[in-house]
Amino acid sequence: FVASKGNYRHFMAKEIHEQPEVVGRTIAHYVDFASGTVVLPELPFSFKDLKRLSITACGTAYYAGLVAKYWFETLARLPVEIDVASEFRYREAPLDPGELAIVISQSGETADTLASLRYAKAQGQHILSVVNVPTSTIARDSAIVAPTLAGPEIGVASTKAFTCQLAVLLSLAIGAARARGHLDEAGEKRLVDALVGVPGLMTEALHGEAAVEGLAREVAKAKDVLYLGRGTSFPLALEGALKLKEISYIHAEGYAAGELKHGPIALIDEDLPVIVIAPCDAVFEKTVSNMQEVAARGGRILLITDRQGVAQSAMDTLGTLVMPDCDPVVAPLVYAVPVQLLAYHTAVFMGKDVDQPRNLAKSVTVE
Ligand code: G6P
């Protein structure tokens, strides 16, 4: 296999642009279009009987898991414990036999994630892995494999694997919700329809690339950047900050918007761009008040929202990226696109080695 960049300057750009296709392919693997239901791999347990779920991963895969925690808890009423693998494997967490451990990994070779899997297995847990490489060690060690069909990912900063992980995890959460009696047929169909609409929405989001490029020039001037979000946009804020620091080397932090006043608000001045990820969802009004707190202190906001969000926030921003309208449930998949593009164009603008950032490896097989 020889990977090609096609017409793109970098693998990362190619992989960002491939998302409508590979996320579509992944979704097609987990849904039955005709009936509007999800189709899960065969499971040796029932979601109905689970008391709780543990999720373990590293890096970007961990943030996919953090989004999934919101989905499993809200949709399926299934309590989720999530941790980075390097902590989970050593903290001797008590795990009940017969419960489910989900591990998420693009490469399927990350040493800490593999060790966490083996720890959970030794406690008698069912292991379900969400992996992109079906021949990997993690896949081979798992009783249940839920593949992401992202294809080979070459850029060190993960993009398409992340959104494919989200597609798989949302399918699992919908299946869990149905099995646990929290979703009727119509409810499941509504969620599946929203999921099936994602590739089209991602394409629309990609059409906003020129606007993102303009904002990247502003971000490139910064020494530090703060990302804020609430609900499922909180993990996305963490992922946005990770992407930016990985490839542009600009210091960035992601924060739950509600935590602003417990620390990061002290940093606000006109030199610290604040990137707010806020689809107009149930917590939007709360995020607007956080933006007002930033604006009142001379902070400059870069807002990623939808048309309704623009109308309702009426904020004076450094820039606003308007995303297509979508069901808030699938917003993380759609909003990942501008978040990735912003990091990408900032790094390109700064002349950094986007596909092979310094000190980072695509797959971390050492502890
Ligand atoms: C490395 C990569 C990241 C990735 C993380 C976890 O740090 O640079 O992009 O998210 O490992 O990798 P995995 O293959 O387990 O998803």
pLDDT in tens, 206-219: 999 999 999 999 99
Q: What is the mean pLDDT of residues 41-57?
A: 96
- Give the position, in ligand 1's atom list, of the atom nearest the Cα of 59: 10
361 pLDDT higher than 90 = no
Q: What is the pLDDT of residue 1?
A: 66
Active site residue 362: yes
Average pLDDT, whole number, for the chain?
Answer: 96
Task: Establish how many alpha carbons lie within 13 A of residue 219's alpha carbon, considering only the half-sphere containing its beta carbon.
Answer: 36
2 pLDDT higher than 90 = no
Amino acid at 164: C
The DSSP symbol for 96 reads -
Say how many Å lie between the CA of residue 185 and the centre of ligand 1.
36
Confidence of residue 232 (pLDDT cuts 50, 70, 90): very high
Query: Where would I find the beta strands (DSSP E) of the chain?
Result: 31-32, 37-38, 53-57, 80-84, 100-105, 126-131, 144-147, 224-229, 251-256, 273-277, 300-306, 319-323
Report helix, strand or coil for 106: coil
Tokens found for residue 295: 């604006």
Say how many Å lie between the CA of residue 45 and the centre of ligand 1.
29
Ligand 1, atom 2: closest residue by C-alpha: 362
Which residues does 249 contact at the CB level (< 8 Å), separation at least 6? 352, 357, 358
Ligand 1, atom 3: closest residue by C-alpha: 59
Q: What is the mean pLDDT of residues 87-114?
A: 95
Q: pLDDT tens, 272-317?
A: 999 999 999 999 999 999 999 999 999 999 999 999 999 998 888 8
Q: pLDDT tens, 102-161?
A: 999 999 999 999 999 999 999 999 999 999 999 999 999 999 999 999 999 999 899 999
Confidence of residue 42 (pLDDT cuts 50, 70, 90): very high
Residue ranges around ligand 1 (CB below 6 Å):
58-61, 105-107, 110, 113, 156-158, 360, 362-364
Centre a 10 Å sphere on the Cβ of residue 308 and count the other Cβ atoms it contains: 13
Please state, in angstroms and as integers, the Cα–Cα distance from residue 341 to each residue in 47, 65, 109, 116, following that order.
36, 21, 27, 32
Please state, in angstroms and as integers, the Cα–Cα distance from residue 34 to each residue in 39, 207, 223, following that order.
12, 29, 50
The answer to whether the CB of 129 falls within 8 A of the CB of 102 is yes
